[in-house]
Structure formats: C-alpha cells, structure tokens
Structure 1
Amino acid sequence: MPAPKTPTAILLLVCKDTPGIVTRLTSFIAEHGGNLVDVDFHVDADDSGEKLFLGRLEWELPTFTLPRASLPAALETVCTPFAGRWTLHFSDTTQRIAVFVSKQDHCMLDLLRRTSFDDVDAQIVLVVSNHLDLKPLADHAGIAFHHIPITASTKQAQEVAELELLKAERVDVVVMAKYMQILSPTFIEGFPNTINIHHSFLPAFVGGKPYHQAFARGVKIIGATAHFATAELDAGPIIEQECVRISHRDTVQDLIRKGQDVERSVLSRAVRLHLLHRILPYGNKTAVFA
C-alpha cells in the first residue's frame, strides 16, 4: 500500500512584474517553517505590453507554523503590494467534478476510469446531459445522472437549473466531455471553472464537424484541444493539445476514430493539470506549470 502523500499548500499568482516577488514569497514560506517542494514562474506581457509575473509555489504543511485558517489572511498581506490576482489551494482537498455529456461516451469513460483508480484526488459527483443515452453508464458507476434537455426556448431556464445544481452539489469544476452545447455568457459568468474538449487542433476548424472539415481540406495532421470554456465558441484559453498524423488513405470515419483517441488523452491531461492546480489563466492564455 503506497504511503500517504504529504499535504501541501499551493499558491498561484499573476501580477505586474516587479523586483523582489520571488524573494518575498519564498521568505514568507521559510519564515513560517514551510518546506518548498516546487517553485515555477514565468514572465510574459499582456495585450498592452506590460510585463506580467506568473508564479506557482508549493510547500509542505506538516512543518508550516501558520494554521490553514490563518493562511489566506496572511497571504493577502504578502500579495497585496503586488496588486495582482492570487489563489490558494490545498493538495489534500478532494475536488468535486460535474461531467457534462451529450451522446458520445469515450471521454466520459476515460474520466470514470482515471478517477476510480485515484489518478487524481477527485470525485465525479454528478453527470448532466441533454440526452438519456449515457444514463446507464452513470447508473453503473453509481453517479447521479441529471437529464436536462435544452432547446432554444428553454436554454436560459435550464442553464439556471444547472447552475443551481452545481452550487447545491458544491462542484469545483465542470468538464464538458463531448457536451455538444454552447454555454451562454450567463453560465460562464456563474461557473468559469469549466473545461471543454474540442475535436480539432484549435484555432483551426472551430464549430461542428471539424473532422469533416479536415477531410475536405486534405490535412495531414488532426488533433484535439482542451480549453477553458468561454462565451465565444471554441475560443477560450488553451490548456492542452495533441495531434496525430493522417494520410490520404484515411476516410472521415478513420479521422473520427483517431481523433477520439486523442480527445480522451488531451482532456484527461487537462483535467489532471487543473486538479493539481498547475494552470494559471491570464488574458486569453494559460501558463501550464507541468
């Protein structure tokens, strides 16, 4: 039986790049007995050309002298001078996932397998679908299935119901595992922690039937993209991508088959990175501290 992992605290920070940020943060951790296990940072520019500091720090908690309840207030004092945005996470907090699906099962099956084998400390607590096709799969896994059909006339009310459900179930992240719906700005504003898998190597072939589009163009590489969902179709900050070579001998069905294999791996990696707090969105980009 593997030894239990040492619990850690994880700080993600994005702010204007100024001298002394790393020194101030690492000194704060050291002053309180924290043992740093991972430090990673990057400097980039925003749309105006101003330099941004992007950082991730992780330290062990058993020797840290500040109690968890006091840590947010202490970090507020440390981070406020940098006038940025920061979040604090704990590695031993089991995160709760809602999987949104339509009719295709390959991504949902992969997520079920990975969470059941403790690939990450997370639990799929509910499945939401606009169809009933995957209810037997959720039932077999013992996961609550919520059938919420959506039409143009009911979309607003149904999304309100979905948001209320996510709040009631204390969901941390929504994974759109082939959920063939466009989320409204209202939904995204209410639940920004939403990851989508798109069956194309974005920004190429957005929208529906990208494999058919790729076949028509005679491309030699297809791929998949996991990204944060935004109100704009297939335009959110990209988390993970992968591609596979194809040839002139491949049919559309071959492209779909190969593409689904890539979709599974890309989505699972993106979800795992998010659950490990290794993704820092800024603007329409992400820093992925893998």
Structure 2
Amino acid sequence: MGGPLILTLSCADQPGITARVTSFLYERGCNIIEAQQFNDRAGNEAGDRFFMRVAFDPDGIDSGRLGAEFSDFAKAHAMIWKLARQDRPCRVIIMVSKFDHCLVDLVYRWRTGELSIDPVAIVSNHPREIAIRSDIGEIPFHYLPVTPGTKDEQEAALRDLAEENQADLVVLARYMQIFSDAQARHFAGRCINIHHSFLPGFKGARPYTQAYERGVKIIGATAHFVTGDLDEGPIIHQDVERITHADSAADLVRKGRDIERRVLAEAVRLFVEERVLINGNRTVVFRA
C-alpha cells in the first residue's frame, strides 16, 4: 500500500486536462496533497505543452493497480507520465575523479536524511578508494580507469553496474571524463552533471584562476542533464556568488567549490522528489 505517491506527466496542452487528471484521482478516493502545473505556450514545433506534478495519498489503493488504470487514461491523452512512491529513496551512482567536495557533500546530506537517496556505488577513474573510504563508509567503490583504448569497455562496465544495482540516477560529482554520445543517450534523463558557469569563456583545468586573472565580479555553477552536446544539456539548477577585488585566486576556488556543492545537491534533491520534467532543451522545475 505504502505512503504518498507522486504523479508527473506531460502532454499536448488542451482544455480541461487539469480537471480530468484531478477527477481521475478523486474518483478513486485519492487525496491530493500538492499539485502544480505549467502550460508552455511558446509555440514551438511540438505545439503547446502541458506539464503537471501531483503528490497525493492513495488512501490504501495499490499503486500497481492505480498505475495500470492511469496507463489507459494516459494513452487516451498521449501522455508521457510516471508514478513514483514518495518514500522510496532514489538509487544513485556517484562518479568522481580527483576532487571530492561534491561527493562528500552528497554523502553527508544522505546520512543526515536531507537527501532521499540510496548511494549504491561510487565510481572513479582514479584509484581513490583509500583516500575517500572514511567519507563513503560502506558504499561500494569501483575503480574504472579510462584510456582511449579502454573507454568503450569502461562505459560498458558502468552500464552493467547501473543495471545490476537498478540505479535510478547517475551523478557526475566533478567526474572529469566526457561520456560518448552512445553513453549519453543510454543515460538520457537520468544523469546529472555539475560544472562551473564560466563555460565557454573559461575552459580547461584552472577556470577559477582564469576568472581571477580577468577580474570577474560573479562566479557560479550549473547542474544539468548530460547529453551528447558537452555541458549543454537541459539546466536543472544554477547559483552565483559575487566576487570583489579583495578576493584572491584561492578565494575564488574556495567559493566556487562551495557553489558547486550546493548547486549539485539541490539539483539531485529536485530530481529525486520528481520535480524536474524535461521540456526539449529546457526543463520545467516544480519547486516546493
């Protein structure tokens, strides 16, 4: 039976669609706890689109039965939809290279109950297990090195790992490797990356130093879905921090890492709470 359920959906915008969805739930004795909608009338090639997120108490109705009944309803309206249990932690694989700040922050938020995730694996392209074992505890660690000759093999190993662990989400927590187009397609809509918002202005391994040398006044970070276009996937969350002339290059690095941590954590929270719906190259984010 379980606790509250979350229904998310999108379809062509049409009169009365909100009433039909809420009536469907009402007729089955469900009590709506939270409901949000968005009518995208941008006039794009796909036409006007409707997006909705509903959290509700099923009042003892089996979620499997409810989902089967809604499936017929959804087909009649050509909906893309998902029904999820609110109390089920999202099964997550976290990928990291040499910088651990985002990884450690996510693990801390999980341990304190701030993030409803279940970290099923930590993956790194560097042999980092000894260095981070005290931070990740008993979470399984997998060292999957990447070279031009082993990239296909490594990506296949990641796909197998995700399938074996029934992972709902892959988080690139400062994972400094580029997914192939095939890998990006495989994890489409369930892989989140974090990067500094200087791209494409400040590329390479030392973006904060470059920003310092140019005297920037604002730094930031962006969390987005991974696609085949490098760092150009649909944006989930962003944040910025102001910089003054008194800040050193080291200050920018420190502040930048702090922004990266909180932006990635918020993007993961929004995803696991079923608050992010992809809308072409953009997202619809239903905030609490």
Change (3 A) 1:135 1:74: farther
1:47 Cα shift?
A: 3.4
3-state SS of the aligned residue for 2:66?
A: helix
Does residue 71 in structure 1 map to residue 62 in structure 2? no
Match of 1:210 in 2: 207
Match of 1:3 in 2: none
- Do the aligned residues in 1 keep the contact of 2:198 with 2:207 (CA within 8 Å)? no
1:175 partner letter: V
* Consecutive unaligned residues in structure 2, runs of 5 or more: none
Which moved further from structure 2: 30-39 or 245-254? 245-254
Match of 1:145 in 2: 141
Does residue 40 in structure 1 map to residue 25 in structure 2? no
- Do the aligned residues in 1 keep the contact of 2:116 with 2:269 (CA within 8 Å)? no
Match of 1:87 in 2: 82
3-state SS of the aligned residue for 1:73?
A: helix
Q: How does 1:77-226 map onto structure 2 within 5 Å?
A: 77-138=72-133, 141-192=137-188, 193-200=190-197, 205=202, 208-226=205-223
Q: Residue 245 of structure 1 is aligned with which of 242, 245, 266?
A: 242
1:97 Cα shift?
A: 0.9
Q: Residue 274 of structure 1 is aligned with which of 271, 275, 288?
A: 271
Give the CA RMSD over aligned residues.
1.9
Which moved further from structure 2: 264-273 or 71-80? 71-80
- Do the aligned residues in 2 keep the contact of 1:225 with 1:266 (CA within 8 Å)? yes
- Do the aligned residues in 2 keep the contact of 1:201 with 1:225 (CA within 8 Å)? no
Q: What percentage of residue pairs aligned between the two structures are identical? A: 43
3-state SS of the aligned residue for 2:37?
A: strand
Counterparts of 1:59 and 1:201, CA distance in 2:
40
Counterparts of 1:245 and 1:195, CA distance in 2:
25
1:88 partner letter: L
- Do the aligned residues in 2 keep the contact of 1:280 with 1:287 (CA within 8 Å)? yes
Counterparts of 1:209 and 1:94, CA distance in 2:
35
3-state SS of the aligned residue for 2:177?
A: coil
2:47 partner letter: E
Match of 2:285 in 1: 288
CA offsets, 1:12-66, max 9 Å, x none?
A: 11111101110000000000010001110111136327211111111012x154x
Q: How does 1:251-270 map onto structure 2 within 5 Å?
A: 251-270=248-267
Counterparts of 2:66 and 2:15, CA distance in 1:
24
3-state SS of the aligned residue for 2:104?
A: helix
3-state SS of the aligned residue for 2:147?
A: coil
Change (3 A) 1:137 1:212: same
Which moved further from structure 2: 29-38 or 139-148? 139-148
Report how many residues are paired: 283
Counterparts of 1:191 and 1:264, CA distance in 2:
22
- Do the aligned residues in 2 keep the contact of 1:103 with 1:134 (CA within 8 Å)? no
